[in-house]
Structure 1
């Protein structure tokens, strides 16, 4: 929404700012990468439908991860389309038939623009859907598999292979989110100080992708393994750790006056939405090291770096507690698998050591001007754009983010209104 002060202080503002308050309409270039995602997501839909069919046939009453993904996808669709009832019902149908990821990928592939009344552009919706899949299905699914391996009787090569596949696929999804975001030409033009770390040269681009993929795989494997070790002693210990970690992050955001998420949702729903998004982003970054979350709108550079350092500490702590527990009288006598010290510390140290090595390789291969973005203290309320078109995109953000500079925004816009009406810029 445009501040009321603008309309009252400048009569010319009403018609001009009516267009400026619309969400940014981002045109996405067509490409084989997005078309391949469409095909892949449609295949995933078939797989999900088949899994649900088997669950019903076998009377499986505990498909909790799939249910969580569906519920979160419905929530995303509601936020995106609540102003248009027919469109909302249509999108609900896509979610319930598991075709939503394929539909989103197709829209991105053909360069579809945001429809009137939408909260965000199609590519952003695709990203949120993928994030929901990581948060509700891929990450907890990997942890559950790790825990089942440690406490169950099946330690076959097939079970190990299944674990590796879960880690690799989740890491690939996480890696794709950051990689595709950075290669987006509109984003590079809009925010050149943040987007553009992936080099244009093919070899350097491939090395960057590989480094990011290995980093995500190692962090997910190490963190999930460590949390599974902690859960052997008691799931409540892991839940308490994750809960306190998230509360500390939200406290950090509150202290820096950077709690509100950019979505223009206000009041009680706005507080709930901001807290929930911060929670989701924190969990995904904790387990996959999602590089995009160093963006000021998400975790911010300096906290992302802190998270990267804190993860190994937590992993070794859980490994230490596990070894104490299995060596004590409190451990069940029939615990099928008791890992030795060398195995526990070797796996955690090996995975996180490889991650640290690939992080150094990542910093070496990316464009040098972006190496410091992981140490940035910039908040989401800061707008450093030079072009008027991008400066005014602040009106599509939550006004709590720029309330501190409201007077400057009013003065700038009132000063520019006559100039814009005379020049009639394309935007």
Structure 2
């Protein structure tokens, strides 16, 4: 499964899924299901609205390109454009996110705002037709299947790409490398099967819970979400996915938790996500909940429209296939990585382990200064001493792993004298280069846009760098676990 093939196939799935949604909207209007049709339309519009926001943030300094991308977004063709950019791998100096990061964010938004809610509405329509004894059209069934398969493919592709990435495996072989060199197509197919069965089960759960009352449905989502946040706050150095503010972090966790609940997104397994034990426990809880919800509904807690001969076969079949896929998945991956699904390691534990046990400077820095300070607060003094003892050598020798992104992320108090002056000088050099509109092609998958203070348009984005002159520095990087840091 080559990167180009997966990216373009995923983009094709996304475009076909959007087309099938439009067909189902037409059918819903035709059979008088106006409310459901409008709900699907609202979700499509909401997805497009958020995608337009991403385009604005990415391309606002290039109005013509921004207008073109917005047109593609409105025409639901942006996934194809994103796929082209991911394969190209290039980033313009004015962009806040690199192509891979932009692709991840847009895919998460699409899944949260359109794919999952849209599939729920479509499934509710089909279940309603079945309970009324009416025929279900092939358009309805094919649209629902397309939505589930497209979402499963997209979400598990993100994990697959991260796991087989040689750089991720070099940085932390304990967290990456579960997919073997052989039978990768089989492993990916099993990942998709797990995701599809999970999504089908959760959608059916939502339908039954809605029939039991809106409050019950709300509590089903709110209580686990509150427990998730409590666990995040209690686990040391585990709350922030990257160097982002508090409110965006809250939103990111809500989106990540919801998509993981519905798709068994394995990108949540690393320590900075749910963690291995958290992911596995969450999956088991959600699947056990399908039996409980079905029993309560059939026991008199629902409206009685669906009978046991419909509910139980679906619940047992979906969970049975999921169990088979999971067992086969565990037997197919590298044995040494089975334990990662039960790991209690936190993001801070991971940072501490790699800082003290690895000799490579780029690994030490990647898991400390490139992350939120809460990850290494308990050994920050050691990080400071290490940086101060080595930074002048890095600035002079410029090893292959060194980049302006690393330099810009070093906290001010860890740079003294000559090192601080050199960083300020380098920032001004890059600022002059960016102000002339040149492409910034820095290494290590970085995003670094810098503008001079005289640029009134972005004057509010200016920040201090290394105690030197003021320059507008924007840093965004895709966290290897799927989070965003910047």
* TM-score normalised to structure 2 length: 0.70
- Gap change, CA 1:307 and 1:85, over 3 Å in 2: same
- Residue number in structure 1 paired with 2:322: 355
Q: State the 1:117 CA deviation.
A: 6.0
- Separation in 2, partners of 1:99, 1:155: 33
Q: State the 1:32 CA deviation.
A: 3.8
- Residue number in structure 1 paired with 2:136: 156
SS state at 2:346 partner: coil
Segment drifting more, 298-307 vs 162-171: 162-171
Please, which runs of 5 or more residues in structure 2 have no aligned partner?
Answer: 402-486
**Cα-to-partner distance string for 1:92-127 (whole Å, 9 max, x where unaligned):** 555344333222211111122x44465543212212
- Gap change, CA 1:50 and 1:308, over 3 Å in 2: closer
- Residue number in structure 2 paired with 1:171: 152
Contact map agreement 1:77 1:88 (CA 8 A) in 2: no
- Residue number in structure 1 paired with 2:362: 389
- Residue number in structure 2 paired with 1:227: 206
- Separation in 1, partners of 2:250, 2:316: 33
- Residue number in structure 2 paired with 1:8: none
- Separation in 2, partners of 1:87, 1:392: 38
Listed as ranges, the matches of 1:25-36 within 5 Å are 31-36=4-9
Q: State the 1:74 CA deviation.
A: 3.9
Please, which runs of 5 or more residues in structure 1 have no aligned partner?
Answer: 1-28
**Aligned-residue CA RMSD in angstroms?**
3.2
| Of 204, 224, 230, the match for 1:251 | 230
- Gap change, CA 1:132 and 1:48, over 3 Å in 2: farther
Contact map agreement 2:17 2:150 (CA 8 A) in 1: no
Q: State the 1:372 CA deviation.
A: 0.9
Count the aligned residue pairs: 381
1:99 and 2:77 aligned = yes
Contact map agreement 1:301 1:377 (CA 8 A) in 2: yes
- Residue number in structure 1 paired with 2:240: 261
- Separation in 1, partners of 2:165, 2:181: 12
**Cα-to-partner distance string for 1:32-80 (whole Å, 9 max, x where unaligned):** 44344556666677x499779979x999755111122123324545666
Q: State the 1:279 CA deviation.
A: 0.7
Runs of 4+ in 1 over 6 A off after TM superposition: 42-45, 48-55, 57-60
Contact map agreement 1:69 1:137 (CA 8 A) in 2: yes
- Separation in 2, partners of 1:424, 1:259: 32
Q: State the 1:257 CA deviation.
A: 3.5
Q: State the 1:85 CA deviation.
A: 7.2
Contact map agreement 1:171 1:213 (CA 8 A) in 2: yes
1:312 and 2:291 aligned = no
- Separation in 1, partners of 2:12, 2:141: 28
Q: State the 1:264 CA deviation.
A: 1.9
* TM-score normalised to structure 1 length: 0.78
Return the structure number with greater relative CO, CA threshold 8 A, min gap 6. Answer: 1
SS state at 2:369 partner: helix
SS state at 2:219 partner: helix
| Of 268, 273, 277, the match for 1:298 | 273
1:402 and 2:394 aligned = no
Segment drifting more, 394-403 vs 308-317: 394-403
**Cα-to-partner distance string for 1:232-282 (whole Å, 9 max, x where unaligned):** 1223311221111111101110111445333322xxxx1111111111111
- Residue number in structure 2 paired with 1:418: 392
